Amino acid sequence: MRILGIDPGLQRTGYGLIDVAAGDAALVEAGVVRADARKTLEARLKEIYDGVSGVLGEFRPDVAVVEELFSTYSHPKTAILMGHARGVIFLAAAEAGVPVVSYAPNRIKQAVTNSGHADKQQVQRAVQAAFRLAKPPQPPDVADALAIALCHWRMAGRGAARRRSATRAKGSP
């Protein structure tokens, strides 16, 4: 299975692509789609859309995994703007025929660090360890995207294990 993790941002959208086989995850590609902060919102969204579309077209993942919005009442505008970035990412995935799954930030952190309240450095170190990298991925958007992909792999695996257990309990092979 090929999983594309995406960490949406209006200036930097991180992406991380992993291949999963035989119970192991391998890093395929990771990087950042950059949008020029000096441009209008619609121009930046087009840059994000074009960049993500390019990644989807080149690497053809089986699933795209995008971090859910995290908003606080003190910063509602940020959540709205991030919603725009997520929207063009979802559109690019839909046009590429790639299903999209989302996880909450604390679920992602829990899946990769065993703490739902891990900081950026803990996430970076967990991703570094998972892929046996010499250094933590930079910028942090790349580490976050890889963490998102790892979260889906780990969560999907747990779900499959639960489904197999339930099937065996019912007496099916």
* Span 121-159, pLDDT tens digits: 999 999 999 999 999 999 999 999 999 999 999 998 754
Catalytic residues, by residue number, are 7, 67, 141
86 and 107 in contact (C-beta within 8 Å)? Answer: no
Which are the contacts of 12, defined by CB distance < 8 A and separation ≥ 6?
A: 32, 33, 34, 35, 139, 141
Asked: is 2-169 a CATH 3.30.420.10 domain? The reply is yes
Tell me how crowded residue 46 is: count the other CB atoms within 10 A of its CB: 14
User: Which has more pLDDT, 106 or 69?
Assistant: 106
Which pLDDT score is estimated for 165?
Answer: 35
Nearest to 29 by CA among 54, 11, 52, 55: 55
**Banded pLDDT at 71 (limits 50, 70, 90):** low
Exposed, middle or buried by CB within 10 Å (0-12, 13-18, 19+), for 8?
buried
Please list, in sequence order, all residues whose beta carbon lies within 8 angstroms of the beta carbon of residue 166, skipping any fewer than 6 positions away.
none
In this prediction, residue 163 has a pLDDT band, given cuts at 50, 70 and 90, of very low
Residue 116 pLDDT level (bands cut at 50, 70, 90): confident
Average per-residue pLDDT in the chain? 89
